[in-house]
Amino acid sequence: MAPFVQSNGASILEDLFIILHSQNMKEQLIKIQKQAEREIDSISSLEGLETFRIQYLGKKGHVTSALKKLGELPPEERPEIGEMANSVKAEISLMLERAKNRLKSGEIKKEYIDITLQGRAPARGRLHPIDIVNREICDIFVKMGYRIVQGPNVELDYYNFEALNFPKDHPARDMQDTFYVSEGVVLRTHTSPMQVRVMEKQQPPVGIIAPGKVYRSDSDVSHTPMFHQVEGLLVDKGITFGDLKGTLTGFVHQMFGKDVALRFRPSFFPFTEPSAEVDIQCVICHGKGCRTCGNSGWIEILGAGMVDPAVYGFVNYDPEIYSGFAFGMGIERVAMLKYGIDDIQLFFRNDMRFLRQFY
Ligand code: DAH
> Average pLDDT in the 157-177 region?
87
* β-strand pairing of 180-182 with 272-281: unpaired
Indicate the pairing of strand 206-215 with strand 147-148: parallel
Q: How far is the CA of 190 from the centre of ligand 1 (A)?
A: 7
Atom number, ligand 1, closest to the C-alpha of residue 325? 13
Residue 7 — pLDDT band, cuts 50, 70, 90?
A: very low
State whether the beta carbon of 328 lies less than 6 angstroms from ligand 1.
yes
R_g over Cα of the chain: 44
Reported as a pLDDT band with limits 50, 70 and 90, residue 6 is: very low
- pLDDT confidence tier of residue 19, bands split at 50, 70 and 90: low
- Fold match between domain 2-111 and domain 129-358: no
Q: What is the mean pLDDT of residues 183-205?
A: 97
> What value does the mean pLDDT take over residues 332-346?
91
Q: Nearest C-alpha to atom 5 of ligand 1 is from which residue?
A: 328
Average pLDDT, the chain: 89
Of 194, 239, 269, 275, which is best to mutate to test ligand 1, by the most ligand atoms within 8 angstroms of its C-beta? 269
**Confidence (pLDDT) at 115:** 81
CATH top-level class of 129-358: alpha beta
Does ligand 1 come within 6 angstroms of the Cβ of 178? no
The finding on whether 327 has its CB within 6 A of some atom of ligand 1 is yes
Q: What is the mean pLDDT of residues 21-34?
A: 85
> In ligand 1, which atom is closest to the CA atom of 307?
13
Give residue 304 CA to ligand 1 midpoint distance, Å.
6
- CA 342 / ligand 1 centre spacing (Å): 23
Domain boundaries, the chain: 2-111, 129-358
Question: Is the Cβ atom of 216 under 6 angstroms away from ligand 1?
Answer: no
Relative to the CA of 191, which ligand 1 atom is closest?
1
Nearest to 271 by CA among 151, 162, 147: 162
Digit-coded pLDDT (tens) for 272-314 = 999 999 999 998 888 899 888 889 999 999 999 999 999 999 9
Instruction: Name the phi and psi angles at 253, rounded to 5.
Output: -65, -35
Q: Does ligand 1 come within 6 angstroms of the Cβ of 276?
A: no
Closest CA to 57 of 105, 101, 18, 95: 95
Nearest residue by C-alpha to atom 8 in ligand 1: 328
Alpha-carbon distance of 313 to 319, in angstroms, equals: 8
Q: Which of 184, 185, 189 is nearest to 173 (CA)?
A: 189
pLDDT value of position 114: 77
CA 161 to each of CA 172, 178, 191, 217, 271: distance values in angstroms, whole numbers, following the listed order = 9, 11, 11, 16, 9
pLDDT of the residue at 165: 95
Going across the sheet that includes 185-187, the strands are 154-156, 185-187, 180-182
- 83 versus 3: the higher-pLDDT residue is 83
State what percent of residues in the chain have pLDDT above 70: 92
Span 197-208, pLDDT tens digits? 999 999 999 999
| Average pLDDT of the residues in 85-90 | 90
Tens digit of pLDDT for each residue in 54-77?
A: 999 999 988 888 888 888 888 888
Q: What is the Cα–Cα distance from 286 to 281, expressed in whole angstroms?
A: 6
The 10 Å Cβ neighbour count of residue 264 is 18
Q: Is 324 in the pocket of ligand 1 (CB under 6 A)?
A: no
Distance (angstroms) between ligand 1 centre and the Cα of 74 equals 106
Which amino acid makes up residue 73?
Answer: L
State which amino acid sits at residue 24: N
- Whether residue 4 is predicted with pLDDT greater than 80 in this model: the reply is no
- For residue 316, is pLDDT > 90? yes
- C-alpha span between 271 and 250 (Å, rounded): 24
3-state secondary structure the chain: CCCCECCCCCEHHHHHHHHHHHHHHHHHHHHHHHHHHHHHCCCCCHHHHHHHHHHHHCCCCHHHHHHHHHHHCCCCCHHHHHHHHHHHHHHHHHHHHHHHHHHHHHHHHHHHCCCCCCCCCCCCCCCCHHHHHHHHHHHHHHHCCCEECCCCCEEEHHHHCHHHCCCCCCHHHHHCCCCEEECCEEECCCCCHHHHHHHCCCCCCEEEEEEEEEECCCCECCECCEEEEEEEEEEECCCCHHHHHHHHHHHHHHHHCCCCCEEEEEEEECCEEEEEEEEEECCCCCCCCCCCCCCCCEEEEEEEEEECHHHHHHHCCCCCCCEEEEEEEEHHHHHHHHHCCCCHHHHHCCCHHHHHHHC
pLDDT > 90? residue 81: no
For ligand 1, say whether the CB of 314 is within 6 Å of any of its atoms.
Answer: no
Does the Cβ of 129 fall within 6 Å of ligand 1?
no
Cβ–Cβ < 8 Å for 232, 146: yes
Q: What is the pTM of this model?
A: 0.69
Q: State the pLDDT confidence band at 164, using cuts at 50, 70 and 90.
A: very high
Dist. CA 328 → ligand 1 center (Å): 4
Quick one: pLDDT at residue 267?
A: 97
pLDDT surpasses 80 at 111: no
Q: Which atom of ligand 1 is nearest to the CA of 303?
A: 7
Q: What is the pLDDT of residue 30?
A: 92
Q: How is domain 2-111 classified at the architecture level of CATH?
A: Up-down Bundle (1.20)
Residue to probe by mutation, ligand 1, list 223, 241, 327, 331, most atoms within 8 Å of CB: 327
- Nearest-atom number in ligand 1 for the CA of 231 is 12
Q: What percentage of the chain reaches a pLDDT higher than 90? A: 64
pLDDT of residue 124: 84
Q: What is the pLDDT of residues 242-283, one digit of tens each?
A: 999 999 999 999 999 999 999 999 999 999 999 999 999 998
Q: What is the pLDDT of residue 13?
A: 55
What pLDDT is stored for residue 33 in this prediction?
92
The number of residues in the chain equals 359
Q: Report residue 110's pLDDT band, with 50, 70 and 90 as the boundaries.
A: low
Check if 81 has its Cβ closer than 6 Å to any atom of ligand 1.
no
Q: Please say if the pLDDT value at position 3 is more than 50.
A: no
